[in-house]
Amino acid sequence: MVGEFLGFNYPLFSVKIYTKKGDDGTTGLLYGGRVRKDAPQIELNGAVDEAQAFLGLARAECKPGSVLDSMLVSLESDLWILMAEVATEKSRRGKLVDGKTAVSTRMITSLESQIDEITMRFSFPSEFVVPGQNRISACLDVARTSVRRAERLSIAFISENPDSNVGSYLNRLSDLVWTMARWQEEVHLTAKVAKNPS
C-alpha cells in the first residue's frame, strides 16, 4: 500500500522518524539505558556527529571515486563505530566488538599509515598555514577543528573508560585531517608569507 504526501509516494507502513521518547530530555544508549541529552558522552557524540558531517562536506568537494573520496568514506564509517562505543554504558562494555562497535588498535594504526602515505605527496609546510587556500582544504580544516573539539570532550569519557581507544583515535584523526587539508592545498599560504607578501 502506498500513500501520498506533497506529491511523493511512500509506503503506508513506513517507519516514523519521530518516537517522542526524547521529549523528556533523555536519549537511549546502544545496549539499553537512557541518559540526559546533555550527558558527557552525548555531548561527545554530538561533536563527533558534527565532525562526520564536515568530513561529508569535504567529500562533496571531491571527485567521486578519487583517493580522497574513498578515504573520507572510510573515516566517516569509522566514526559510526566510535559513536557506538561512546553510546554504551560502562556496565555493558563487554558487549562491544573491536572494529564493529568499539575502536580497535588496528583502526588507529590505519590512520597513522594514511598520514605517513599522504605526507609523501606534498611539501610539508614549515610555518603555520593560513586556512582557505581552496574550498576542499577549507572544508577539511573545519572538519579538523570539529575533531579537535571532540577530542577535548573525550577526556571525561576516557577517564571513565581507560581501556578505550576513543581518545587516541580522535587524536590521530585530527592529525590525518590536517594532513589531508595540506595535501589538497598544493601551495600553502603560510603565516610568514601572509605577513610579508612579496
Contact present, 87 and 95 (Cβ < 8 Å)? no
- Domain tally for the chain? 1
Select the highest-mean-pLDDT range: 15-19, 91-95, 121-125, 171-175. 171-175
Q: If you average pLDDT over residues 90-101, what whole number do you get? A: 90
Contact present, 1 and 11 (Cβ < 8 Å)? yes
pLDDT tops 50 at residue 51: yes
pLDDT tops 70 at residue 149: yes
Give residue 5's pLDDT: 44
Give residue 160's pLDDT: 92
Q: How confident is the model at residue 2 (pLDDT cuts 50, 70, 90)?
A: very low
Q: How confident is the model at residue 130 (pLDDT cuts 50, 70, 90)?
A: confident
Q: Is residue 150 part of a domain?
A: yes
| Cut 0.85: pTM above it | no
Range of the domain at 164: 40-122+132-184
CATH number of the domain bearing residue 65 = 1.20.1200.10
Q: Is residue 10 part of a domain?
A: no
Of 3, 27, 173, 10, nearest to 87 by C-alpha is 27
Q: Is residue 33 part of a domain?
A: no
Concatenated DSSP letters of 45-84? HHHHHHHHHHHHHHHHTSPTTSHHHHHHHHHHHHHHHHHH
Q: Is residue 20 part of a domain?
A: no
User: Could you give the CA distance from residue 121 to residue 160 in angstroms, rounded to a whole number?
Assistant: 39
Q: Is residue 66 part of a domain?
A: yes
Q: Is residue 3 part of a domain?
A: no
Give residue 133's pLDDT: 84
Hey, is 129 helix, strand or coil?
strand
Give residue 147's pLDDT: 98
Worst-scoring range by mean pLDDT, 11-15, 16-20, 178-182? 11-15
